[in-house]
Structure 1
Amino acid sequence: MNKSVLYALGSAALFGASTPLAKLLTGDMPPVLLAGLLYLGSGLGLTLARVLRDGGFKPPGLARGEWPWLLGAILFGGVLGPVALMYGLVSTSGSSASLLLNLEAVLTAAIAWLVFKENADRRIVLGMLAIVAGGVALAWQTGPGAQSSAMGPVLVGLACLCWAVDNNLTRKVSASDALFIAGIKGVIAGSVNTVLAIGMGALLPQLPVLSLTLCLGLLGYGISLVLFVLALRGLGTARTGAYFSTAPFIGAAVALLVFAEHTSPAFWLAAALMGLGVWLHLTESHAHEHLHEVLEHTHAHSHDAHHQHAHAQAWDGSGHHSHAHTHPSMRHSHPHYPDIHHRHVH
């Protein structure tokens, strides 16, 4: 299995599980504060990991033209999206919220295909439809007793739109250091929302709840986002979003355990449909003759068919390494995804 697929599924598992768990915390603190602390836990944890990895603070190496994409992603995905979700969770059941998160994949793919002209063939579209149909099937399990107001689902849907914009903007910087991208998003978004919440009169929770919230943010938002960025780098936006849309099923499964709900035939139907969708994506083979334009960027790589360049300094030729490098124009044919080296038109 392609490692980028594993990154996408791992990201979905962490985020999906965090949604119903975050609902347990909505009664202990205001939604804006909860959103801020979740992202703050993500940012602080990932920044510490990056400092330990690099032996201190090092420049991220982000090109000047990439900063607007990153800041836009932080605004939509780190500030607006989490606040909308936390307010939505107040009046939406855990399993219903997990269902509504399917909108993120649909909106992500729609923006990728219509705005950024990313390629999608029939198999990918059918796989996406199967996964989304599985999410719709989850609605049946909520039953008439589910406590949701009209505004709750609207706010969860708004969060999905914010994250769809975020996903497509993050794709523009996905070749850069994933730890930096996820960490800076967490620090900025978490600080903004936490300060805003305190300014509105919110009080920080007791240490046990604060620690739990920060740890949940590191796992469900931080590490999940690092894996998502790595998946974007290798799969493109629409395919990563499709794999990530298995998160609602994972979230619903956790909600069934946490809130002691009973499984239903609809739950297993959803599992089968999502499994079908993932299988359609896993068995995709997209190959044709294509032209690589001259491209200069920086990312970790080994010297494969797309990386045959000389080095200014001595290098033994083995393993992954990272530096600025230029890809010459090349025309060839092989199976590929719309990754950072294959974002050509069709």
Structure 2
Amino acid sequence: MYNRLFSPTSSALGAALFFGASTPFAKQLVGQMSPLLLAGLLYAGSGIGLLFTRLAKDRGWRHSGIVKGDWIWLLGAIGFGGILGPILLMFGLQQISAASASLLLNLEAVFTALLAWFVFRESTAYRIMLGMFLIVVGGILLSWPYSNTTQENILGAVTVTGACLCWGIDNNLTRRVSAGDPFFIAGSKGLVSGTVSTSLALSLGMSFPHWLTGCYVLLIGFIGYGASLVLFVFALRGLGTARTGAYFSTAPFIGAAIAILFFHETTSVLFWIAATLMGIGIWLHLTEHHEHEHTHEPFAHSHSHIHDDHHQHKHDFPWDGKEPHIHYHRHEFMKHSHPHYPDIHHRHKHK
């Protein structure tokens, strides 16, 4: 889908903003219900909200933009990120402290980048790797426990690490389908994950909270998970997986800043060190300039687009001239040079 309102970079930072902002509000509800049920309702709010948003936006049900060969990637992303990841996380939270879990959750960005670079062969640069490193270190400092922790179950640490690996796989698989409708992709993840987590919680004897509390959780899920994931998919389309993951890693800082402003939580020296490191990391990403002569091999796909330099195709159907529009179209061989990111049209190899 072509996005006139947000650039890929602002979409990635917006995704971090919504997700990070939701964390302090969700944290206030932890004592009122189990973590598993809370996660299920947050995901359910995401899926239900995006389903109705998509129906209202499109004035009915429209094609998702997911072609036949891409369904396996979407199903894999839902399986790893929407089912296996949350289950492993909830199991791990029962074995280790929340502080240790927060520290380990920074591994998601690491796994996302490593898989993107070494498995899916996404292009990178030294400044991007350095920026990623600084952002992750900032996240680790931000979630560093303030007091000595007791001896904890190693299995808990392993399962939380496994959850991060699942989400890293999820992010890379989602990139493969990021040309599709982000509302459909994010909504599908939310509905499946919400259904699985909520059903599992109920099967374990957990009960629903008061209906007002439940609606509040669903609203947080719609904004903090749903809107965040839609923007995340937009960013994946334009930036690639590793760069999007790096920007999204600033979410803990945003959450901590909101907790300080609205819930009057205390700050520490580590908070300001983390803020500085993350700021430098983001600056390294924002100032990246990647330009060289490259080729576009012939291929075909479907997504919302305008007729820019990369979309000079003809139409085999009546067209009223309105842009952007969406249809299945073919790209012919092209060689040129211009600044670019590893987006859906620039997944070429580098020497």
| Pairwise same-fold verdict (TM > 0.5) | yes
In structure 2, the gaps of 5 or more residues are none
User: Which SS does the other structure have where 1:27 is aligned?
Assistant: helix
Corresponding position of 1:308:
312
Corresponding position of 2:135:
131
Matched, 1:144 2:147: yes
- 1:42 & 1:239 partners in 2: Cα distance? 24
Question: Which of residues 298, 318, 343 is equivalent to 2:347?
Answer: 343
- 2:101 & 2:264 partners in 1: Cα distance? 16
In structure 1, the gaps of 5 or more residues are none
Length-normalised TM-score, structure 2: 0.91
1:55-108 Cα offsets, whole Å, 9 max, x none, are 2223324212111111111111111223344455565346x6554432111110
Counterpart residue identity of residue 131, structure 1: I
Counterpart residue identity of residue 143, structure 1: Y
**Judging changes above 3 Å, is the alpha-carbon distance between structure 1 residues 28 and 148 closer, same or farther for their aligned structure 2 residues?**
farther
Question: Which of residues 107, 110, 132 is equivalent to 1:106?
Answer: 110
1:29-58 Cα offsets, whole Å, 9 max, x none, are 223222211111110000001111122223
* 213-222 or 58-67, larger mean C-alpha shift: 58-67
Aligned residues of 2:40 and 2:197 also touching (Cα < 8 A): yes
Corresponding position of 2:295:
291
Counterpart residue identity of residue 144, structure 1: S
Corresponding position of 2:49:
45
Corresponding position of 1:328:
332
User: Which SS does the other structure have where 1:315 is aligned?
Assistant: coil
**Judging changes above 3 Å, is the alpha-carbon distance between structure 1 residues 76 and 121 closer, same or farther for their aligned structure 2 residues?**
same
**Judging changes above 3 Å, is the alpha-carbon distance between structure 1 residues 148 and 2 closer, same or farther for their aligned structure 2 residues?**
farther
User: Which SS does the other structure have where 1:298 is aligned?
Assistant: strand
**Judging changes above 3 Å, is the alpha-carbon distance between structure 1 residues 259 and 89 closer, same or farther for their aligned structure 2 residues?**
farther
1:199-222 Cα offsets, whole Å, 9 max, x none, are 222211110111111111111211
Aligned residues of 1:89 and 1:97 also touching (Cα < 8 A): yes
Question: Which of residues 89, 92, 95 is equivalent to 2:97?
Answer: 92
Matched, 1:120 2:124: yes
**Judging changes above 3 Å, is the alpha-carbon distance between structure 1 residues 87 and 38 closer, same or farther for their aligned structure 2 residues?**
farther
- 1:306 & 1:48 partners in 2: Cα distance? 33
Q: What's the offset of the Cα at 1:292? A: 0.6
Aligned residues of 2:131 and 2:280 also touching (Cα < 8 A): yes
- Give the % identical residues: 59
Length-normalised TM-score, structure 1: 0.92
Aligned residues: 344
**Judging changes above 3 Å, is the alpha-carbon distance between structure 1 residues 242 and 232 closer, same or farther for their aligned structure 2 residues?**
same
**Judging changes above 3 Å, is the alpha-carbon distance between structure 1 residues 268 and 146 closer, same or farther for their aligned structure 2 residues?**
farther
Corresponding position of 1:248:
252
Counterpart residue identity of residue 205, structure 2: G
- 1:338 & 1:324 partners in 2: Cα distance? 21
Where does 1:153-168 land on structure 2 (aligned, <5 Å)? 154-168=158-172
Q: What's the offset of the Cα at 1:139? A: 4.3
Q: What's the offset of the Cα at 1:168? A: 0.4
Question: Which of residues 209, 215, 225 is equivalent to 2:219?
Answer: 215
Q: What's the offset of the Cα at 1:116? A: 0.3
Corresponding position of 2:241:
237
Q: For the aligned residues, what is the CA RMSD?
A: 2.3
Corresponding position of 2:40:
36
User: Which SS does the other structure have where 1:331 is aligned?
Assistant: strand
**Judging changes above 3 Å, is the alpha-carbon distance between structure 1 residues 165 and 100 closer, same or farther for their aligned structure 2 residues?**
same
